[in-house]
Amino acid sequence: MFTNTIARPQGTLPLDLFAAIEDLKKELNAVILAHYYQDPDIQDIADFIGDSLQLARAAAQTNADVIVFAGVHFMAETAKILNPDKLVLLPDLDAGCSLADSCPPDQFAAFKAAHPDHLVISYINCTAEIKAMSDIICTSSNAVKIVQQIPADQQIIFAPDRNLGRYVMQQTGRDMVLWQGSCIVHETFSERKIVELKATHPQAEAIAHPECETSVLRHASYIGSTAALLNYCQKSPSQEFIVATEPGIIHQMQKLAPGKHFIPAPPESNCNCNECPFMRLNTLEKLYLSMKNRTPEIVMSEDIRLAALKPMQRMLEMSV
Ligand code: 13P
Ligand code: SF4
């Protein structure tokens, strides 16, 4: 961790944000949970960094009074579903998710009604309303394991990510009805550029998150959640990796596998669109201000929370 010195023009910001956040953590009895896609500074100040499943587990187990969620809205909502009596803060309330947005509750209710007798398994990257309409929640690290536990004659709706759904179908041999949602970040990776990179870096292993399209996944020697990718880089004898997921994770890869070389998989056009624009809305400054002002806070109706809690609990039971 380094000392972050911010000039005072904003007036309300202290000179040393890291120290000020540490003080607020003690004052509020707060825990900072951060996803691997957050800015390196936020990862460094967090008490716990993880993938969606690890963060949900950490939220379920914390004794803190305040949870500061350095991630996106559905993740902070998940923490609130598990902790109705705690104050859950999200540094920027606009930190949404294209995948969660691709599944509006009214349209999903109609989709469900059109497929009676189907069990609904929803990826955690969805709103509390969609969770409330689901039977079981899953994440990218336990989706295969959960689907494998469902009796073979039970029909399944899988929502909202069609790419993860397709990957789970391949891995399990199960047929599922897929909601056609996707993540703008994971759909941006260029198969052509990955093939070019593999040609110029013949020793590099391509690794990918299952939210990527099949055209990208077929070039990967390993596919897994962010935590699984991080673990794989440390264990693999390879020294170089082409990483097809949001490049925020490379901060941890460099820390945990020092000396290895990580190349972010590029998007087709010359943009930064392999960075999640929602995750990157959170900054150290906003994190500090959210703790200082105890806002923006995640709120939801108790009806939705209780309905969303059930499939969350099923997930936690089925993925021990
Ligand atoms: P995981 O944290 O399960 O790897 O998912 C990645 C993601 O896109 C989170 O939004
Ligand atoms: Fe959503 Fe994709 Fe960003 Fe993850 S990376 S939060 S799925 S938009």
**What would the pLDDT profile of 155-208 be if each residue is shown by its tens digit?**
999 999 999 999 999 999 999 999 999 999 999 999 999 999 999 999 999 999
Is the model's pLDDT at 118 over the cut of 50? yes
Q: What is the pLDDT of residue 117?
A: 96
On whether the 191-264 domain is CATH 3.40.50.10800, my answer is yes
Residue 73 pLDDT greater than 80, yes or no: yes
For range 123-131, the mean pLDDT: 98
- Give the number of C-alpha atoms closer than 13 A to the C-alpha of residue 230, restricted to the C-beta side: 21
Q: State the chain's mean pLDDT as an integer.
A: 95
Residue partners of 25: CB distance under 8 A and separation at least 6: 31, 32, 47, 291
How many angstroms separate the CA atoms of 177 and 120, rounded? 9
pLDDT for the residue numbered 248: 97
Shortest-distance Cα residue to atom 9 of ligand 1: 52
What mean pLDDT do residues 15-40 have? Answer: 97
**Using 50, 70 and 90 to split pLDDT, how confident is the model at 84?**
very high
Give, for ligand 2, the residue of 72, 73, 187, 213 to mutate: max count of ligand atoms closer than 8 Å to Cβ: 72
Q: Model confidence over 254-264: pLDDT tens digits? A: 999 999 999 99
Percent of the chain with pLDDT over 70: 97
Task: Establish whether domains 17-95+278-300 and 99-183+304-318 are of one fold.
Answer: yes
Q: What average pLDDT does this structure show over 228-238?
A: 98
Alpha helices in the chain (DSSP H): 17-28, 40-45, 52-61, 73-82, 98-101, 105-113, 128-132, 143-148, 162-172, 191-200, 214-217, 226-235, 250-256, 284-293, 302-318
Tell me what pLDDT residue 193 has: 97
Q: Is 127 in the pocket of ligand 2 (CB under 6 A)?
A: no
Rounded Cα gap, residues 267 and 187, in angstroms: 9
pLDDT beyond 50 at 9: no
Q: How does residue 12 score in pLDDT terms, banded at 50, 70 and 90?
A: confident
Cα 22 to averaged position of ligand 2 atoms, centre (Å):
28
Task: Record the tokens describing residue 116, joined without a space.
Answer: 């009676």
> Which residues is 243 bridged to in the sheet?
207, 264
Scored b (16 or more CB within 10 A) or e, 290-315 reads bbbeeebebebeeebbebbbbbbebb
Mutate to test the pocket of ligand 2, among 138, 186, 272 (most ligand atoms within 8 A of CB): 186
CA of 97: how far to CAs of 33, 160, 249, 280, in Å? 18, 12, 17, 11
Among 5-19, 65-79, 151-165, 247-261, the least confident range: 5-19
136 has pLDDT over 80: yes
Mean pLDDT, rounded, for 30-58: 97
Phi-psi map region of 48: left, alpha, beta (phi>0 left; psi -120 to 50 alpha)? beta
- Averaged over 271-283, what is the pLDDT? 96
User: Tokens in use for 172?
Assistant: 């399990």
Lowest model confidence (mean pLDDT) among 155-169, 204-218, 232-246, 266-280: 266-280
pLDDT at 15 over 50: yes
Q: What is the mean pLDDT of residues 275-301?
A: 97
The matching CATH number, chosen from 3.40.50.1380, 3.30.230.70, 3.40.50.10800, 3.40.50.150, for 99-183+304-318 is: 3.40.50.10800
Domain positions in the chain: 17-95+278-300, 99-183+304-318, 191-264
Q: What is the homologous superfamily of the domain 17-95+278-300 according to CATH?
A: NadA-like (3.40.50.10800)
What ligand 1 atom has the least distance to the C-alpha of 72?
A: 10
- pLDDT tens-digit profile of 46-72? 999 999 999 999 999 999 999 999 999
Q: Which ligand is nearest to the CA of 72?
A: 2
- Verify cis geometry, omega within 30 degrees of 0, for the bond prior to 160: yes
Q: Which one of 138, 163, 226 would you pick to mutate in the ligand 1 pocket, going by the greatest count of ligand atoms within 8 A of its CB?
A: 226
